[in-house]
Amino acid sequence: MAAYTLADRPKLLTRLRSALLQRVMSTLVPKRVLVSRGPTTERRVALTFDDGPDTMTLTYLELLKKLDVVVTFFVIGDHVRALPQMVRACHDGGHEVAGHGMTHTAFPKLSRAALLEELNGTQALLPPSRTKVPLVRPPKGAKNFRSVAEVAAAGYTTVMWSLDSDDCRTDNAEEVAARVVNETRNGDIVLLHEEQQWTLDALPKIVNGLRARGFSFVTVGELISS
């Protein structure tokens, strides 16, 4: 698997359109169908990691164990097929594992039948879900009302995020850590990625910084079930 390539920063109009869609959908769509943050009454946060498993997964797990933190991994089905032992290690470490599509194809581009194959094919490769309704994160965060409705009809909850670490657009660990530590609010779901050394380097600063601010760490399932 190739190392993660830095993405271009979206144009302002694209960011505004995406933020507006997220706000509208969060208002109109039930939490059972779409969630982007947890309750804001408690000082809890969920760290999430997209695009694994990969050759760095065990290194991530070793660091997370040292930091005494549980997280949610959103994994790609094709990667799981190549490295099934990595997913077992995530699950055995007490972490939550959920789907991120089989091929990392944007859900709105897929027909209903193809989307079902992506969802169910990936889920069949994963350990039993720790939530009553399995969680799934759309590849690249791409979604529309149709794709979200079809994901829900298939029996899944779409999970987005409320804070983007921007670790897919910068390889500066200090910038990534500062953004997360300074901008996290109660109930946030934080987007991070696997197979990136700078994300790994940022993790201790993120965890220690948030703990200093009084935050505790939970999985997405734990966050949204309260």
| Neighbour count for residue 39 (Cβ, 10 Å) | 12
User: Is 13 domain-assigned?
Assistant: no
pLDDT digits (tens, 9 = 90+) for 196-225: 999 999 999 999 999 999 999 999 999 999
In this model, does residue 17 exceed pLDDT 70? no
**CATH number for the domain harbouring residue 75:** 3.20.20.370
* pLDDT for 3 beyond 50: no
- The residues near 120 (Cβ < 8 Å, ≥ 6 apart) are 154
Residue 31 lies in a domain: no
Give the mean model confidence (pLDDT) for residues 148-175.
96
Q: Which of 79, 95, 100, 193 is catalytic?
A: 193
Q: Is 54 assigned a catalytic role?
A: no
Cβ neighbour number for residue 122 with a 10 Å cutoff: 25
Backbone angles phi, psi at 143, to 5 degrees: -160, 160
* Cα–Cα dist 28/108, whole Å: 19
Band the pLDDT of 2: cuts 50, 70, 90: very low
List, for residues 44-61, the tens digit of each pLDDT value: 999 999 999 999 999 999
Quote the distance between the C-alpha of residue 52 and its chain's center.
10
pLDDT for 29 equals 74
Q: What is the dihedral of CA 91, 141, 16, 5, to 10 degrees?
A: 90
How many domains are there within the chain?
1
Mean pLDDT of the chain: 92
- Asked whether the predicted pLDDT for residue 1 surpasses 60, the reply is no
CB 71 within 8 A of CB 137: no
Q: Is 8 annotated in the active site?
A: no
> Is 124 contained in some domain?
yes
Question: Is residue 24 in a domain?
Answer: no
**pLDDT tens-digit map of 185-194:** 999 999 999 9
Question: Domain containing 68: what range?
Answer: 42-225
Question: Can you tell me whether residue 51 is helix, strand or coil?
Answer: strand
**16 occurs within a structural domain:** no
For residue 137, is it within any domain? yes
Q: Would you state the structure tokens that stand for residue 32, as one six-digit string?
A: 């059972």
Would residue 4 count as lying in a domain?
A: no
Is residue 158 packed enough to be buried (19+ CB in 10 Å), middle (13-18) or exposed (0-12)?
buried
- As a whole number, mean pLDDT of residues 110-124 equals 98
**Is 6 among the domain residues?**
no
pLDDT of residue 14: 55
Selected catalytic residue, list 8, 50, 68, 166: 50
Q: Which amino acid is at 9?
A: R
